[in-house]
Amino acid sequence: MRRISFTLVFSCVAAISAVAQSINYTTRIQALNKNIYSKLYDAKANLYLETNNVEANKGNHSFLWPLTALLQAANEMEVLEPRKQYIAPVMKAIEQYYTDRAPAPGYQAMVVKEKTDPRFYDDNEWIAIALMDAYARTHKKEYLETSKMIYRFLLTGYNQVGGGGFYWEEGNLKSKNTCSNGPGILVALRLYQATKEKAYLDTAIKVYNWTKKNLLAPNGVYFDALHVPSLKIDSAFYTYNAGTMLQSGVILYNITKDNKYLNDARSVAVASEKVFFKDGHLPGNYWFNAVLARGIIALYHTDKNRKQLQFIIDDAEYVWNNERDEQNLLGKQKIKSLIDQSAMIETYARLQKLMLKQ
């Protein structure tokens, strides 16, 4: 019986390996990145466009959110090609969203010279997460300092209403969302790993406990938000909310060696596949799914359970084979978006890195 079980497990791993080895992720990454700079980039302004449709863009450059996806994609491309400078042009664009207005500096949702706009805690967090990933690889001081600045801005969105947690949007006191708390935990954890300053770890654990207590759903993934002060739950489920909490659990385990965090992460991973993976693919938001992939891959590095990766590989294949146009632009809609191209660059780059490690 043991021999049969071992053979089956080995066969599954070998099959997954064979599928991954047959895919040329590098070609895909290069095609998508080329499209971004030929169809979604304003070189004169060093800014990016939201979509490839002039009317849909309404004369504006991209919101910040898609740039945070592109920044993470740029880091993953540099992981594969360390001598290239993919991050630099993206950060040059992002700096045009910077504002030093009170109570703390941060990045607003639109280009400052074009419009005064709200600041979202999650937008800023995604920047810090990408930069801290880059810092761990390059040790460039500016990445660490920008992330510390974002952390200080993030703290202005924390209070004890609803028992704790970060708001989603500056000045909007109506909700505390998993999408601002999950990545907030990751920012604090990354800063702790880089500096060993206990205050960062204390923040991460405090927010992790709050989010798990208030937003973990009975099905094992996470609700979207807690409305305050009513304490009513927004019961929507999104893959990225599962992804940030999954990844947070893995990192907390790696730091503390407390098995409760690893068990949390495993539980979210199993639930995520069950809840979200239907008919051979994940729900339609590629970037949400890329954030889930981060968590699944982080768990793989700890558990070495390659079978757990298969639904991520399958979804990435589904997108390329079924939702790609003749120009190699990805997306189910006729109008193609910067965030979709960026998300799939990130996903394919992470899968390519895994393939290279086999």
Packed helices 259-276 and 239-256: angle between N→C axes, nearest 10 degrees: 160
pLDDT for 268 equals 98
At the topology level, CATH places domain 2-356 in Glycosyltransferase (1.50.10)
* Residues pairing with 48 in the sheet: 41
For the chain, give every domain's residue range. Answer: 2-356
Q: Residue 163 in contact with residue 118, Cβ under 8 Å? A: no
What CA–CA distance (Å, rounded) separates 190 from 184?
10
Q: Report which residue type is found at 77.
A: M
Tokens of 339: 């965030």
CA distances from 332 to 282, 284, 325, 341 (A): 13, 8, 9, 12
* Three-state DSSP state, 233: strand
98 sits in which H/E element: strand 98-99
340 sits in which H/E element: helix 338-356
Each of the 358 residues of the chain gets a pLDDT tens digit; together they read: 333 344 444 444 444 444 555 689 999 999 999 999 999 999 999 999 999 999 999 999 999 999 999 999 999 999 999 999 999 999 999 999 999 999 999 999 999 999 999 999 999 999 999 999 999 999 999 999 999 999 999 999 999 999 999 999 999 999 999 999 999 999 999 999 999 999 999 999 999 999 999 999 999 999 999 999 999 999 999 999 999 999 999 999 999 999 999 999 999 999 999 999 999 999 989 999 999 999 999 999 999 999 999 999 999 999 999 999 999 999 999 999 999 999 999 999 999 999 887 6
Buried b (16+ CB within 10 A) or exposed e, 70-109: bbbbbbbbbbbeeeeebbebbbebbebbeeeeeebbbbbe
Sign of the torsion angle spanned by Cα atoms 46, 324, 29, 178: positive
Those residues whose C-beta lies under 8 Å from the C-beta of residue 141, and which sit 6 or more positions away, are none
**Can you list the pairs that 61-64 forms with residues at least 24 positions away whose Cβ atoms lie under 8 Å?**
61/110, 61/111, 61/114, 62/338, 63/109, 63/110, 64/94, 64/97, 64/107, 64/108, 64/109, 64/110, 64/120, 64/123
Tokens of 8: 């089956």
Q: Report which residue type is found at 117.
A: D
pLDDT for 21 equals 56
Separation of CA 185 from chain center:
13
What CA–CA distance (Å, rounded) separates 232 from 252?
28
pLDDT for 284 equals 86
Beta carbons within 10 angstroms of residue 198's beta carbon: 9
103 prior amide bond cis, ω within 30: yes
DSSP 25-75: HHHHHHHHHHHHHHHSEETTTTEE-SBS-HHHHTTPPPPHHHHHHHHHHHH
Strands (E), 100-254: 106-107, 175-177, 223-227, 233-237
Q: Report which residue type is found at 267.
A: S
